[in-house]
Amino acid sequence: METEITLKKTKKDKLFDAILYFFIYAFLGWVLETIYAIFIHGHFVKRGFLYGPICPIYGFGAVILILSTKKLYKRPFLKFVIATGAFTIFEYIVSFLLEILFDIKLWDYSNDFLNIQGRVSILYSIVWGVIGVLLLEKLHPWIQDKVQTLTGKIARNIEPIIVITLVIILLVDTVLSSIKYLNM
């Protein structure tokens, strides 16, 4: 059944799915960060760059991982290696860009063993690899099924409206957040 759905999907459908996955994983990343911060600090701490409840680094990371490992069925170790490398490189680049563009550090691994400029560390790289495998092997198949079921139930002309609305909200949030950090 899933093969039939996949074969019938247009490039636009696949793009809309990728955008929906981005928002789902960006939100789940924000939830993960928030729970982690509550555990570490004992209270709610606003996480991420944006005003809204999403961390785009998780959304982009998940979509990059999903797209880059599509053909790696039943190869969890290779998925781990790719996830570890991709997330580490991506985390380093995002940290570097945030510091260059906005003079902010949203995370700092300087005190961690085997860190690179406090931007990435071996411990978190391994954690990202494990999370990547869990995402690809367990979470994404379930979310993919739910997204396919949901998008199959809504009219074909509604999905683009939902996706475009989410993208516009993200763009507005990004602009407003950027202004906030540039004025600090």
Q: What is the pLDDT of residues 47-62, one digit of tens each?
A: 888 999 999 999 999 9
pTM (2 d.p.): 0.86
pLDDT at 156 over 90: no
Q: Based on the number of CB atoms within 10 Å of its own CB, is 71 exposed (0-12), middle (13-18) or buried (19 or more)?
A: exposed
Under a CB-based contact definition with an 8 Å cutoff, are residues 47 and 58 in contact? no
* Mean pLDDT of all residues belonging to the chain: 89
Q: Identify the pLDDT of residue 60.
A: 94
Kindly report the backbone phi and psi dihedral angles of residue 122, in degrees, each rounded to the nearest multiple of 5, phi listed first: -60, -40
Under a CB-based contact definition with an 8 Å cutoff, are residues 129 and 84 in contact? yes
